[in-house]
Chain A
Amino acid sequence: MKRKLEISELIFKVISYTLLTVFALGCLYPFLYAISASISGRHAVEYGEIVLFPKDVQFDAFSQMFGDNMFWNAYSNTLFLTFYGTLWALGVAILGAYALSKKRLLFRKFFNFYLVFTMWFAAGIVPQYLNYLATKDVFNSMGITDDKWLVVIAMGMAAMNIILLRNAFENVPGEIEEAAIVDGASEFQVLQKVFIPMSKSTIATVALFFAISRWNGYFWARQMISNQNEHPLQVFIRLRLEQYTDPEAMAGWNYSYASDSVIYALIVCSIVPILIIYPFIQKYFAKGVNVGGVKE
């Protein structure tokens, strides 16, 4: 028989569900608005007639955007930064977290404290900037001129993600590591064949964090990449935004769609890949990779 809810429980549930629904709609609305605005007619966009649904549907803003070589160039730069940036940062994080998870690591407590300290007292952009300059010096001495690599390499460290991974590695039972060692695995094989597969869900989560931050990365790309051809999507959007909201530059705009629609179309295109990735990563979020391995 189903238990009857008590009145206080009922009130709590109603309030929680209402708040969560409002929050979810609040998150969803800007995205739906961007889609509607990107495919609505010029008049509806310029006079603020769009509330939720599109008006005078047209796809010319997308056509213009797809016809822009700079857009595709920025898109490929973003893919480059996201792919290599995630790979590099994940590699650094996994190796760092594995070492920090081992009790036999010399000065382990100090290193862990050192890592967490950078989260408590973030020193702003100055150390990061100095890090970029130092990396740039190394790159220059090596003859690497592509600034994209600079953003990939110098952004490789993320204390929070290393801590997440360290905790996941610490949760792998010690006996399983010992079993692998007795089975003949080297330290690297233990990491590669036991720890990484057993921490798949955390690694997927951290990879997603890295990927999103690289995909949406704007500030350092803008600061460090001087060549316009190497700018990623977010910097490109910002440049277009500056251009399309400048009344002087837009004085001669005479298309059937608003200049804002192009910006919205750009935003929609920049969000879509992340939306596509989510469902693929989500399956790894399910816990229980280690179920049954050891008696608990």
Chain B
Amino acid sequence: MAELSLQHIDKIYDNNVQAVFDFNIDVKDGELIVLVGPSGCGKSTTLRMVAGLEDISNGKLFLDGRDITQTPAKDRDMAMVFQNYALYGHMTIYENMAFSLTLRKEDPNVIHKKVLAAAEILGLTSQLNKKPSQLSGGQRQRVAMGRSIVRNPKVFLFDEPLSNLDAKLRGATRREILLLHKRLSATMLYVTHDQTEALTLADRIVCMSMGHVQQIGTPLELYDSPNNLFVAGFIGLPPMNFFDVTFEDGKLKGKGFEVSLSDEEKYTLSDYNRQEITLGVRPEDIVEGGTLHVKVFSNENLGMNTLVHGHMGANGENRISAKLRGWTDYKNGDEAMVSFKRKHFFDKQTTNSIRKGER
């Protein structure tokens, strides 16, 4: 059982640069939380504060109700997997995995059993006598995970563990981490800048930007109802299309195009009459057939879908990307007729999402 609670946590460096602002979250036992955001958003700093590798400037950190804000890293009973593996190059794989238990002077027989069990889970049994330099990148990262598993820690921390692996290996290792999480039912904090990892792994995602938490929610919540323009643009690949539009006469009028709205959408925008807002449309919410003209300049067939890029509007003022179903074969300069299946609306000033009755 391990419940983690971060309360009003700030990180201010000695040079007065603030990296994290008022971070709050209660992590439930066995939950996998993914911190996601672009480089420099404060996600790794937050993880390092939880690990005890960085001091917490303000706020409190609780583990199972116990205040561990000032507890040294070595006494927090957390294990961490680093981006660049951080294996002990002078030790064998066995010694690497047994290191933390050896430090605690556990019975060698128990250590042996635990190392073998972890190696078995991760498929490293035949590699135990090798040195890290003799292993591939994926195997090394598995050793780093094995080093965490043997300890049976209260919390697992992952700092961009897949960043150094190639695309194929990344997918495989991601599935291994997911299986590991299911198997151990452990509380995990996982940092990544890759939204695919965030969406596939997380029970809940914390999306961050410039040190501020933008939204905390399940992957579906972040994808389906993003809190603001940043989350909407960050989550989803290809990213959401944004258009400057004005809500007028029950329609959205953009540069050289008009979009009609459903009654529900009109109700949502009822407070924004004759005002400029941002319209967001996911590429996968664009379908063929409709009244919007798109002049295509690129047609990328992906198998099940086709990614079509073009310009929309009378004079092609709006850049648009659409993920169309099936195999289309538009040539450069062809015109496609499309419509928007689902729309997101954002306040132009606050960049926050406009929801029913909210302003």
Closest to B95 in A: A193
User: Quick one: which of B53, B76, B147 contacts A178, CB cutoff 8 A?
Assistant: B53
Contacting pair B132 A295 (CB below 8 A): no
User: Which chain A residues lie closer than 8 Å to B100 at the CB level?
Assistant: 183-184
Closest to B74 in A: A184
User: Which chain A residues lie closer than 8 Å to B76 at the CB level?
Assistant: 182
Contacting pair B88 A176 (CB below 8 A): yes
Stretch at the interface among B134-142, B193-201, B325-333, B339-347: B134-142
User: Which chain A residues lie closer than 8 Å to B134 at the CB level?
Assistant: 292
Contacting pair B103 A181 (CB below 8 A): no
Expressed in whole angstroms, the minimum distance between the Cβ of A175 and any Cβ of chain B is: 4
Is A291 engaged at the interface, CB distance under 8 Å to the other chain? yes
Contacting pair A292 B103 (CB below 8 A): no
Q: Which of B74, B103, B104, B147 has the most CB of A within 10 A?
A: B74
Stretch at the interface among B78-86, B213-221, B349-357: B78-86
> Residues 140-177 of chain A: 1 if any B CB is under 8 Å from the residue's CB, otherwise 0?
00000000000000000000000000000000010110
Contacting pair B88 A175 (CB below 8 A): no
**A292 and B86 in contact, given A182-B80, A185-B103 (Cβ under 8 angstroms):** no
Is A118 engaged at the interface, CB distance under 8 Å to the other chain? no
Expressed in whole angstroms, the minimum distance between the Cβ of B5 and any Cβ of chain A is: 20
User: Quick one: which of A181, A194, A291, A292 contacts B73, CB cutoff 8 A?
Assistant: A181
Contacting pair B74 A291 (CB below 8 A): no
Is B272 engaged at the interface, CB distance under 8 Å to the other chain? no
User: Quick one: which of A179, A193, A289 contacts B86, CB cutoff 8 A?
Assistant: A179
**A183 and B99 in contact, given A290-B90, A291-B133 (Cβ under 8 angstroms):** yes
**A292 and B88 in contact, given A181-B74, A182-B78, A185-B103 (Cβ under 8 angstroms):** no
Is B87 engaged at the interface, CB distance under 8 Å to the other chain? yes
Q: Which of B78, B90, B99, B164 has the most CB of A within 10 A?
A: B90
Is B51 engaged at the interface, CB distance under 8 Å to the other chain? yes
Is A1 engaged at the interface, CB distance under 8 Å to the other chain? no
Q: How far is the CA of A46 from the CA of B133 in the complex (A)?
A: 60
Q: Which of B86, B100, B137 has the most CB of A within 10 A?
A: B86
Is A262 engaged at the interface, CB distance under 8 Å to the other chain? no
Expressed in whole angstroms, the minimum distance between the Cβ of B173 and any Cβ of chain A is: 14
Kindly list the 8 A-B residue pairs having the minimum CB-CB distance in the complex, ordered from nearest.
Answer: A292-B133, A293-B89, A175-B86, A183-B100, A292-B132, A295-B84, A179-B86, A290-B89
Q: Jot down 19 A-B pairs with beta carbons below 8 A, ordered by A.
A: A175-B84, A178-B80, A178-B82, A179-B87, A181-B53, A182-B53, A182-B74, A183-B79, A184-B100, A184-B103, A184-B104, A197-B90, A198-B88, A291-B133, A292-B131, A293-B87, A295-B84, A295-B137, A295-B140
Chain B contact residues, CB within 8 Å of chain A? 51-53, 73-76, 78-80, 82-91, 99-100, 103-104, 131-135, 137, 140, 147, 151, 157, 164
